[in-house]
Amino acid sequence: MRELGVSAGETVLIHGAVGGVGSVAVQFARAWGATVIGTAIQDNHDYVRALGAIPVTYGDGLEERVREPASQGMDICLDLTGSEEAITVSIAVPGDKARIVTLVRPPLAKQYGITMTFGTRAAETVAQVVGLAARGDLDLPIARRFALADLAEAHRLMEAGGQRGKLVLPLD
């Protein structure tokens, strides 16, 4: 969110708002005063609302559902799903194409002329996340914990998507 320059009064669309990265991105954008619209399956709408975002369901008609709460367009669109639908909808709503970013699909980013980023893991960013979490101002949801022996299963679930939060493996 810092790389995208989120500021108060802006409208941010986050595709994949309930995942580990998406849920934190929603919280940062809200903390900086942005209105956030988060895409998610219907079963996760209450969670998206609890994070402070306006939930919108994926699928046919997504563009119209996104335009409804954002009639003036989007200032920033962040794709965490890698779906072509997310990228094409982000491009279709009014806004600055330079502020549309995907973290997961380099070929689609190149095809549509949008930014591909891998984010930053700068010490300052990590310290900020840890500090907010320690104070209880940031919810870091964990979808499931795995033993290292279950790495393959964790990877399958990660590839399938749809997890609410992070999949966690031990460091040792």
Return the higher-pLDDT residue of 109 and 54. Answer: 54
The pair of structure tokens assigned to 151 is 């790495």
Q: What is the pLDDT of residues 87-143, one digit of tens each?
A: 999 999 877 888 999 888 788 888 888 888 766 556 677 777 777 778 877 877 787
Q: Candidates 3.30.230.10, 3.40.50.300, 3.10.20.30, 3.40.50.720; correct CATH number of 11-116?
A: 3.40.50.720
Rounded to the nearest integer, the mean pLDDT of the chain is: 86
Alpha-carbon gap, residue 83 to 127, rounded angstroms:
31
Q: What is the pLDDT of residue 121?
A: 59
pTM listed for this prediction: 0.82
Contacts of 25 (CB under 8 A, 6+ apart): 1, 14, 17, 78, 80
Locate the domains of the chain by residue range: 11-116, 141-172
